[in-house]
Structure 1
Amino acid sequence: MLSGPALRAFFRIAELWGLKAAEQRVLLGSPPESTFFKWKRAREGALPRDVHERISYVLGIYKALQILFPDPVRADAWVRKPNQAEPFAGTSALERMLSGNVADLYVVRQYLDAQRGGWG
């Protein structure tokens, strides 16, 4: 598995989205703080399958947003904007993703893929 590239991509997206360390940890499945900061510092390390799955969803969400919104600033800001669409019920996609459940990352990814006409 490509742990190094996956972590580097995740932390770059986290920076673009303005995520705090606590939010990043939740998106990664709430690893222990020491593990999280080791990953963040080294940008590599052995990752459990669950973490790879979570990063894969984040990468897919990021890519879908870049396709849907040609303006990168607008694409990156979308995750924090309140959304009336069914999966969000007035909250932001980030709030949905921060529930801690990998299924919520999947729901956001599926929603965006459907919006851009991809698989859904």
Structure 2
Amino acid sequence: MPPHAAALPASEAPAFTAADLRDPEARRRVSAPAVRLFLRVCDLWDLKVDERRAMLGGISRQTYHNWKAGQVGALTRDQLERISLTLGVLKGLRLVFAEDAHALRWLKSENADAPFAGRSPLAHMTEGGLSELADVRRYLDAWRGVK
């Protein structure tokens, strides 16, 4: 990971429940902090803009750049779930790997294990949908012995 990347403090994570995702005002309230955290994770992983857009569900370039500039409205439930899963993948990587560089290498390396089928976990997340993000999170949880 880039040497300038700082750790992501848990205190910055927006707190919300599944019920809040139905409430537009609650989604609006957590959207900007969620996008900021997502962008920091993407910076840690050195992701390209197209990879970032894909992980957010294929948002447009303009929307991505608006969000990056801080112009964030209420995200959809799908987008918030994608960000939550991404943060869960980061947490899993940090619990499995002692060094961020090793985690990043695993994330970007081809992997023959199910469900990756020879692709990297990152490619699995960016080329698929919400379920593929969840696959990587579940894989890391299982690796740690979490059911």
Q: TM-score under structure 1 normalisation?
A: 0.92
Query: Which letter does structure 2 place at the counterpart of 1:23?
Result: E
Q: Which has the higher contact order (CA 8 A, sep 6+)?
A: 1
Q: Which consecutive unaligned segments of at least 5 residues does structure 1 have?
A: none
Distance 1:97 1:67, change over 3 A: same
2:77 is the alignment partner of 1:39: no
Note the alpha carbon deviations across 1:12-35, whole angstroms, 9 max, x for none.
Answer: 110111111111000000112211
Per-residue deviation at 1:72? 1.5
In structure 2, what is the equivalent of residue 82 of structure 1? 110
In structure 2, what is the equivalent of residue 22 of structure 1? 50
In structure 2, what is the equivalent of residue 107 of structure 1? 135
1:63 corresponds to which of 75, 91, 97? 91
Equivalent residue pairs, number? 119
Moved more, 41-50 or 96-105: 41-50
Q: TM-score under structure 2 normalisation?
A: 0.76
- RMSD, aligned α-carbons: 1.3
Larger Rg: 2
In structure 2, what is the equivalent of residue 96 of structure 1? 124
CA distance in 1, matches of 2:68, 2:41: 13
Q: Identity of paired residues, percent? A: 43
In structure 2, the residue corresponding to 1:76 is in which secondary structure? helix
CA distance in 2, matches of 1:43, 1:13: 19
